[in-house]
Amino acid sequence: MDLVRRTDELVDLLGNWSAGTGALYRRLAASLRGLVEQGSLVPGERLPSERNLAAALRISRTTVVSAYDHLRDEDVLESRQGSGTRVCSTRAPVRADGWAAAGNGNPMYSNLLRADENVIPVSCLRTPALAGVEQAIREVVAEDLPALMAEGTYYPRGLPALREAISRHHERQGLPTHPDQIVVTTGAHQAVALVAQLYLRKGSPVVSEDPSFAGCLDLMRDRGAQIHPVPMDAQGIDANGVRRAFAGYAPHLLYVMPSYHNPTGTLMSAARRRELGELSARHGVPILEDSAYTGIRAADEPAPLAAYAPRGAEVISVDSLSKVGWAGLRVGWLRAPAEMALRLSRRKVLADLASPLLDQAVAVRLLDRYGQLAHQRSEELREALAHMGSLLRRDLPDWRWEAPDGGAALWVHLPGVNARTFAQVALCHDVELVPGPVMSASEGGLHDEYFRLPFAYDRETREELVWRLARAWRELDRYGPVESHPDALVV
């Protein structure tokens, strides 16, 4: 194979590689071996040079050399004169046509698979349960359980009572909805995955905000989609950029997060929503409206984008209860034109037949109290944001950030410092960051100096987090950033 792994991509895949005990080179070797075993590094793939990887990880070249040597002794890696270090071709079955099973290397979720209690992961947002969630669960057990236990079907499109509750929820938002337009999913993540499966194939052009949410971009790339990023302004994705992208690429999908954008927290204006709906109808480009990222909410939040779309526009709206009620309640949904909802429900059947009925019954009760829950979550996070802001202004005054319109994180600018470089320093202080480039599909380093910083932690964790980040920043300032490392080209 002639595939070459870029240094920054490998660093992202390694994630929190230095956690644990034992010699540093053994920890690095173990992490690289894990990437090979899970298929994120495929047989024949060439790795960065020892010097480049050492510079990117801010460790000695000797450590990388020792790790590579260790893996050569285990027949995980091999080296040939003039071709560098590669994954051994015998590590996994490879067919004659070069096919080999590949794993998911999304660095956003790596900490979920290898959690370390000493590390504060700043990659996934945290949403502990509100008191209303426990109340709803108790009510379901006390009042709804006998009827649920008598059910003898899966309800692939969702529990009828929940689809009706979701329809009422959208009505309150100013978006008339019929239950036939609703498909209940196991979280918003599955809803996006179903849309990607239905609309996208290898080579499909997708227009997206820049930056965007890495987890959803990966779902689309997994279908072979080509992402075409469009920058944002204070009102949301740049409409002129969308217009040019529609004309230039004839995309199969426009992916946007109007309420609220992840990672910047921007709330798209009503005028911009209307403009995108009109562009969708004119060019025949479906819109995937992802509204699952929430937390702090603006008092004057517009109706969903689908409410502004003219007749003929195809808008699929995705939402969930995870960021409002509880991350452990994996109930999401999508709203689409009835004929598309039916097609998407067929994909849902293939995925898991149906979502759990108990979870859906709890969601029915929560949706009828959605306004109260959303207000409570928003107020909690406003306090958390105020506290996080005071800590940052005190301990990290050089950092730049703007208060988000909503959501649960800050989009932090590190002036003059590459976020990937800082992430490696922070890792030495037991903080796992997601650098800005991971949240972007653009080339040219537009977001190299940014990273997403959630503030949805308890007070003690926020204080500890900022203290560790401040130590890492002082260390970087004292010793300076490492020299840039050129990435090898595909040969």
pLDDT score recorded for residue 3: 58
437: left (phi over 0), alpha (psi -120 to 50) or beta: alpha
Look up the CATH architecture of domain 374-479.
Alpha-Beta Complex (3.90)
Note the pLDDT tens digit of each residue in 267-293: 999 999 999 999 999 999 999 999 999
Rg of the chain over CA atoms, in angstroms? 23
At 174, is the pLDDT very low, low, confident or very high (cuts 50, 70, 90)? very high
Answer yes or no: is pLDDT of 255 > 50: yes
Note the pLDDT tens digit of each residue in 359-377: 999 999 999 999 999 999 9
CB 29 within 8 A of CB 20: no
Answer yes or no: is pLDDT of 488 > 90: no
What distance lies between CA 107 and its chain's CA centroid? 9
pLDDT score recorded for residue 114: 61
Nearest to 227 by CA among 167, 174, 288, 172: 288
- Residue range(s) occupied by CATH 3.90.1150.10 in the chain: 374-479
pLDDT score recorded for residue 6: 85
Which helix (DSSP H) or strand (DSSP E) does residue 120 occupy?
strand 120-121
Selected from 3.30.70.360, 3.30.565.10, 1.10.10.60, 3.40.640.10, the CATH number assigned to the domain covering 131-371 reads 3.40.640.10
Whole-model pTM over 0.85: yes
At 93, is the pLDDT very low, low, confident or very high (cuts 50, 70, 90)? low
**Average pLDDT score over the chain:** 90
At 89, is the pLDDT very low, low, confident or very high (cuts 50, 70, 90)? confident
Could you tell me the end-to-end alpha-carbon distance of the chain, in angstroms, rounded to an integer? Answer: 10
Answer yes or no: is pLDDT of 107 > 80: no
Note the pLDDT tens digit of each residue in 218-228: 999 999 999 99
Note the pLDDT tens digit of each residue in 435-483: 999 999 998 789 999 999 999 999 999 999 999 999 999 998 775 554 4
Look up the CATH architecture of domain 7-105.
Orthogonal Bundle (1.10)
pLDDT score recorded for residue 431: 93
- Residue range(s) occupied by CATH 3.40.640.10 in the chain: 131-371
The three-state DSSP-derived secondary structure of 375-390 is: HHHHHHHHHHHHHHHH
At residue 482's C-alpha, the angle toward residues 476 and 486, to 5°, is 150
How far is it between the farthest Cα atoms of the chain?
Answer: 72
At residue 96, what is the residue type?
A
Q: Give the Cα separation of 358 and 362 in Å (integer).
A: 6
286 phi/psi in degrees, rounded to 5: -65, 150
Q: Give the Cα separation of 443 and 420 in Å (integer).
A: 15
pLDDT score recorded for residue 65: 95
- Residue range(s) occupied by CATH 1.10.10.10 in the chain: 7-105
At residue 78, what is the residue type?
E
Q: How far is CA 448 from CA 147, 198, 234, 416, in A?
A: 54, 33, 20, 10
Q: DSSP assignment, residue 451?
A: E
